[in-house]
């Protein structure tokens, strides 16, 4: 029979006092040892401290320490503290060239890209989601494609058409057709703004589109019933509620533009139009470690500020949490006489963002002389020909062993790194969601997000300085594929961990608890319950980093050596040596790989492009 133990409060107090601290700790230990989540968390924390925190700290320290070979200039011994680099960057005769001009360039490009992509993307999002635009279903996928293509694909297509005599090598199509393209059209600010706008407009469509879709139509209906006009509803109900999404969109584009390296590398470097990331690259490639650290730190600070503002605003936005109510929005208005122009705009966007760049790249690979559209000028030699009579690269790209070894490298290096970051991301999610100690979870959450704030180039440089020489038990890694993998893993952790956390949060702890009750140990639970349930999330957490790894340039340009060339660095080497056709052929293949890979992921996860890219 049941009974209540007759214990008074006093007896209870005594009972507690009788449990000494040591016993409590032993009890905690018994609890902890039954569940390896904390042990795993500690191992992960150690791994990421080495892989992420150490490089970031080394960047920050290098800002204020005399670097090798700078003793004479700084009048201080190597390794001593110095303000030399900071002064040089911010307050010397050189700072205009070193910092302010690149900063101004970066800012103008970023702002231009934000303004254009927000207006074009916003308009297209509205057309696709709220109007009876013909072919909406098709457009909703087609308009997103530029976001799946690497930015520098567009940049290379641009140079293929607009390149002029300012830079050597094969001229652009327009030049060959007799139109001299001015520098401002061929290189620098304007093309960069256009290309980044083309790339980020789909991102705006995705974010605004999903916000529009989640918008509770009842909110609109209530206003209409109270007698508000359509315009009033749009400006006083819809727009204010969309504001958090709009602002967040702006800030994310800003953060991405500041870190953007590949586009300025292709379009800015030839004419000395420096952005923060290309001046960082210059500093690294001329071995000015101290200045490189300052540039990297500046980019990091801007990134941190942007994200800080974004999180602050997101917190604010929680007050508007009703967005996302039940009422699905399917209110479309007919376009009337605007139907043709609207369809034309959407079609034009697809043409400029997808069709023309890809077609240009493809045509450029089968033309001997750029821009000459006569039958005898076309050839497949650059793909499959042999004995082309060139200095190097005497065979078509598909018959060149370096191409295949770069392809194999890509598969092995990026594949292994993606696999590792997918699994690590899931484990981070596991620890963050399950750990009894909030501090451990928070640490992992924040440290894995850190690489997002560090530009890829700076991160690669830091990894290089850290791991190029033997340190403790770790041998020198320079020139190995391991250093590339480490950098890639770290670089992918922000995405991998966030998707891991989201997946684990969604899973909840009950399926695993049910397995515990059934008698399953930890390994059994992971392999038999958690991983199989999460297999879709895991697949996309592996595939998405793989795709973004294939597209990525900045990490590899620092860390890859010819022996560890991947497709991107191989294509850039070809660009540098002016094998334009071959380079474009490789770029085209990367672009198509990225495109179909992303589509494959969508099929696999079945949750639409929007979700996959948003996270």
Please give the residue ranges that form the binding site for other proteins (CB under 8 A): 1-5, 7, 9, 11-12, 15-16, 18-19, 23-24, 26-27, 29-31, 34-35, 436, 438, 508, 510-511, 513-521, 524, 528-529, 532-533, 535
Contact assessment for residue 158 and residue 191, using Cβ atoms and an 8 Å cutoff = yes
Smallest separation (angstroms) from other proteins to the CB of 5: 3
* Smallest separation (angstroms) from other proteins to the CB of 537: 12
For residue 532, the minimal CB distance to other proteins (Å) is 5
- Whichever of 76 and 531 has its CB closer to other proteins, that residue is 531
Which residue, 69 or 511, has its beta carbon nearer to other proteins?
Answer: 511
> Shortest gap between Cβ of 534 and other proteins (angstroms)?
9
How far, rounded to the nearest angstrom, does the alpha carbon of residue 192 sit from its chain's CA centroid? 18
CB nearer to other proteins: give 39 or 97: 39
Name the minimum Å distance from CB 39 to other proteins. 14
H helices present in 435-533, as ranges? 438-449, 456-467, 481-507, 510-518, 522-525, 531-533
603 Cβ contact list (under 8 Å, min separation 6): none
SS3 for 369?
coil
- Using the minimum distance from each CB to other proteins, give the nearer residue, 30 or 226: 30
DSSP letter at 19 equals: S
Q: For residue 283, how many other CB atoms are within 10 A of its CB?
A: 24
Pick 29 or 322: Cβ nearer other proteins: 29
Least distance in angstroms from the C-beta of 504 to other proteins: 15
The number of C-alpha atoms within 13 Å of 155 and in the hemisphere containing its C-beta is 24
Q: Where are the alpha helices (DSSP H) in 276-400?
A: 276-285, 289-317, 339-350, 356-365, 381-384
Of 331 and 434, nearer to other proteins (C-beta) is 434
Query: What region, left, alpha or beta, does residue 437 occupy, with left being phi > 0 and alpha being psi -120 to 50 degrees?
Result: beta
Least distance from other proteins to the Cβ atom of residue 25, Å:
8
Considering beta carbons, is residue 384 or 514 the nearer one to other proteins?
Answer: 514
Per-residue DSSP letter, 235? I
Question: Quick check: 151 and 161 in contact, CB under 8 A?
Answer: no
Helix/strand/coil for 105: helix
Alpha carbon 191 to its chain centroid, in Å, reads 21
CA 463/CA 491 separation, integer angstroms: 11
Q: Give the nearer residue to other proteins in terms of CB position, either 332 or 524.
A: 524
Please state the closest distance from residue 513 (CB atom) to other proteins, in A: 5
Sequence-distant (6+) residues with CB within 8 A of 436 are 37, 38
- Taking the C-alpha atoms of residue 273 and residue 106, their distance in angstroms, rounded to an integer, is 10
Beta-carbon contacts of residue 491 (< 8 Å; ≥ 6 apart): 451, 456, 459, 552, 555
Which residue, 16 or 333, is less far from other proteins as judged by CB? 16
Select 180 or 439, whichever has its Cβ closest to other proteins: 439
Q: What is the closest distance, in whole angstroms, from the C-beta atom of residue 133 to other proteins in the complex?
A: 35
Shortest distance in whole angstroms from residue 10 CB to other proteins = 11
Contacts of 266 (CB under 8 A, 6+ apart): 152, 155, 156, 159, 575
């Amino acid at each position: 029979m049941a009974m209540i133990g007759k214990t008074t409060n006093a007896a209870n107090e005594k009972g507690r006092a009788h449990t000494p601290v040591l016993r409590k700790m032993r009890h905690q230990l018994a609890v902890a040892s039954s569940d390896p989540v904390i042990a795993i968390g500690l191992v992960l924390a150690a791994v990421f401290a080495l892989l992420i925190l150490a490089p970031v700290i080394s960047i920050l320290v290098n800002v204020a320490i005399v670097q090798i070979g700078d003793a004479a200039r700084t009048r201080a011994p190597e390794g001593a503290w110095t303000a030399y680099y900071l002064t040089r960057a911010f307050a010397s005769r050189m700072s205009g060239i070193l910092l302010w001009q690149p900063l101004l360039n970066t800012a103008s490009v970023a702002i231009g890209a934000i303004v254009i992509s927000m207006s074009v993307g916003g308009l297209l999002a509205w057309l696709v989601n709220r109007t009876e635009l013909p072919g909406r279903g098709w457009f909703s996928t087609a308009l997103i494609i530029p976001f799946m293509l690497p930015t520098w694909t567009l940049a290379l297509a641009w140079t293929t058409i607009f390149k002029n005599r300012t830079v050597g090598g094969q001229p652009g199509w327009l030049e060959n057709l007799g139109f001299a393209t001015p520098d401002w059209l061929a290189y620098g600010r304007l093309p960069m703004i256009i290309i980044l706008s083309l790339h980020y407009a789909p991102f705006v469509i995705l974010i605004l589109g999903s916000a529009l879709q989640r918008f509770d139509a009842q909110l609109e209906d209530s206003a209409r019933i109270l007698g508000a006009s359509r315009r009033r509803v749009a400006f006083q109900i819809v727009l204010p509620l969309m504001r958090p999404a709009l602002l967040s969109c702006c800030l994310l584009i800003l953060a991405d533009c500041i870190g953007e390296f590949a586009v300025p590398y292709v379009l800015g470097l030839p004419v000395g139009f420096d952005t923060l990331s290309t001046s960082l690259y210059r500093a690294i490639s001329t071995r000015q470690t101290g200045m490189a650290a300052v540039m990297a730190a500046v980019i990091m600070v801007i990134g941190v500020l942007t994200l800080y503002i974004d999180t602050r605003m997101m917190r604010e936005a929680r007050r508007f949490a009703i967005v996302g109510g039940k009422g699905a929005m399917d209110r479309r208005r007919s376009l009337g006489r605007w139907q043709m122009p609207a369809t034309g705009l959407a079609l034009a966007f697809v043409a400029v963002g997808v069709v023309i760049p890809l077609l240009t790249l493809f045509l450029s690979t089968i033309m001997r002389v750029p821009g000459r559209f006569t039958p005898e000028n076309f050839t497949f030699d650059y793909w499959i020909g042999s004995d082309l009579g060139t200095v190097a690269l005497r065979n078509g790209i598909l018959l060149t062993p370096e191409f295949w070894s770069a392809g194999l490298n890509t598969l092995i290096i990026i594949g292994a790194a993606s696999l590792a970051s997918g699994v690590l991301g899931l484990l981070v999610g596991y620890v963050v969601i399950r750990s009894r100690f909030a501090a451990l979870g928070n640490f992992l959450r924040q440290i894995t997000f850190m690489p997002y704030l560090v530009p890829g180039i700076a991160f690669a440089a830091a990894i290089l300085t850290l791991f190029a020489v033997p340190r403790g038990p770790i041998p020198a890694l320079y020139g190995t594929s391991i250093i590339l993998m480490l950098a890639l893993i770290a670089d992918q952790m922000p995405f991998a961990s966030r998707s891991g956390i989201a997946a684990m949060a969604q899973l909840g702890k009950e399926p695993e608890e049910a397995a515990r009750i059934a008698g399953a140990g930890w390994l059994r639970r992971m392999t038999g319950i958690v991983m199989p349930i999460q297999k879709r999330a895991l697949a996309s957490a592996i595939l998405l980093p793989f795709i973004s790894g294939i597209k990525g340039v900045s990490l590899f340009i620092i860390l890859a050596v010819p022996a560890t060339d991947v497709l991107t660095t191989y294509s850039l080497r070809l660009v540098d040596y002016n094998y334009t056709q071959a380079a474009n052929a490789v770029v085209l293949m990367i672009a198509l790989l990225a495109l179909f890979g992303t589509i494959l992921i969508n099929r696999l996860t079945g949750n639409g492009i929007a979700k996959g890219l948003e996270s």
